Amino acid sequence: MNTKVWKVDKYVDNLENNPQVVDAANFLRDNEVVALPTETVYGLGGNATSDVAVAKIFAAKGRPSDNPLIIHIAEKKQLSTFVAEVPDKAEVLMEAFWPGPLTIIFKKKEGVLAESATAGLETVAVRMPDHPVALALLKSCGLPIAAPSANSSGKPSPTNAQHVLDDLNGKIAGVIDGGATGIGVESTVIDCTEAIPVILRPGGVTKEQLKAVIGEVRVDAALTDEAARPKAPGMKYQHYAPNAPLFMVSGTTQFLQSLVEEKRTAGLRVGVLTTEEQVDVLEADVVLACGKRAELETVATALYDTLRKFNLEQVDIIFSEVFPNEGVGNAIMNRLQKAAGNKLIAE
C-alpha cells in the first residue's frame, strides 16, 4: 500500500472545502484509515460506525482489540446519534473544554458504533479536537471518527507527520501533514457515567482545572492496575516506549550521573532524558533536553519527540529524571511510567 501524504496549512481559510481535506474525507467515507493532526498528538482515524475501518486501525497499529478507541466529533449534536445520555456535569465540561484535550466517557446507544470501537463496553469515549485541520476533516466526512494515536502500538505517540510515516508508512491509506502538534500528550479522559466523575487518564486538561469547573473528581485506582479491563484508551499495556530500556531516576544529579558512569563502564551506550536546566551538567553518550523543568508544558510538548530521538541515537539504555506529580506533571509522569514499564531507581 502506498501511503498518501496531504500537506495542509492549518491557517488557510475554508479548510472544510480544501481539496486535500476533501480527498482525505473521501478516503474515510470509503472505510480507509487516515492519520490526522490534533492539538495533542496525531490520530489514526477511521469510520467509527464501520467494523471494516476499525479493524484496519487495529491492524495498522498492532493494537490489542480489548483497548477501546476515542471517537472524535466536530459538533456536539453528533452525540445524540450514539450517546444514550449526557449528564449535567458532562454538559458543563463540554462547555468549558470543548473543543480541546478532554475526552468524556458516556453511556452509549447500542447498534450505532462498530462494537470493536468500544471494545464491547457499554460506554463510549468522545472528544472534540481543538485543531482546525481535524475539525475540517470531521465536518467534511460527516462521520464520527475513531482515532487512537497514529503510531505502532507501544511506541511513543507521534507529534508530527514524519513520526507517523516512521511507524506506519505502507500500512495506512494516508496522512494529513498539518505541522507539529501543540500540547504533545494525549487528552485527559474523564468518566461522567459515575455520580462523581472519575479521571481515567491524565492529560492536557489538569485535575485542578476540572475541579475548578465541576467540583469533586476522583482519580481511578485502575491507573496503576494492569490487570483491570480498560474503560479508556491508554489504561492498559506498556505504551510510549523507546527501543532501549528506559528507567526513571529519583534522586540527585550526582546519583543519576553515578548510574550513567556505572553503565558506561560496563560498555553500554547511555542516554539521559533531562531538561534545559540540566543538559550541560550531566555527561553521557547522549544527553537530550526535553523542555524546561520550570515550564512543564514544554516538557509535555517535547516528550514523545525526545523519546523517538533516542531511537535514532541507538542507545542501549536510557535514564530519565522524574517530574512533579501535579498539574500537567501528572500526564508527563503517567506517560513516563508507561514508557519505562514502571521501572524506577530511587536514591
pLDDT the model gives residue 232: 57
pLDDT tens digit string along 273-320?
Answer: 999 999 999 999 999 999 999 999 999 999 999 999 999 999 999 999
> At 312, which CATH number?
3.40.50.11030
**Residues 16 and 133 grouped into a single domain:** yes
Comparing CA positions, the residue from 155, 225, 240, 233 lying closest to residue 188 is 233
**340 is a domain residue:** yes
**Residues 264 and 144 grouped into a single domain:** no
Number of structural domains (the chain) is 2
**Residues 306 and 190 grouped into a single domain:** no
Final residue of a structural domain among 224, 259, 293? 224
**Residues 196 and 299 grouped into a single domain:** no
**Residues 259 and 312 grouped into a single domain:** yes
**Residues 220 and 253 grouped into a single domain:** no
- Count of alpha carbons within 13 Å of 198, Cβ hemisphere only? 14
**Residues 176 and 57 grouped into a single domain:** yes
**153 is a domain residue:** yes
What is the Cα–Cα distance from 9 to 176, expressed in whole angstroms? 10
pLDDT the model gives residue 227: 46
* pLDDT mean by block of 10 residues, the chain; 347 residues: 95 95 98 98 98 96 86 97 97 98 97 95 97 98 97 93 97 97 94 96 95 95 58 58 96 97 98 97 98 97 97 96 94 94 95
pLDDT the model gives residue 1: 85
**231 is a domain residue:** no
Final residue of a structural domain among 192, 224, 256? 224
**Residues 313 and 192 grouped into a single domain:** no
Residue 255: C-alpha distances to residues 251, 252, 268, 342 (Å): 6, 5, 18, 19
**270 is a domain residue:** yes
Neighbours of 64 (CB within 10 A): 13
pLDDT tens digit string along 237-272?
Answer: 557 889 999 999 999 999 999 999 999 999 999 999
**Residues 75 and 123 grouped into a single domain:** yes
Cα pseudo-dihedral 193, 113, 23, 158, rounded to 10:
50
> At 150, which CATH number?
3.90.870.10
**150 is a domain residue:** yes
The crossing angle, in degrees rounded to 10, of helices 132-141 and 19-29 is 50
Residue found under cell 465541576: 214
Domain that holds residue 116: 4-224
Residue found under cell 508527563: 332
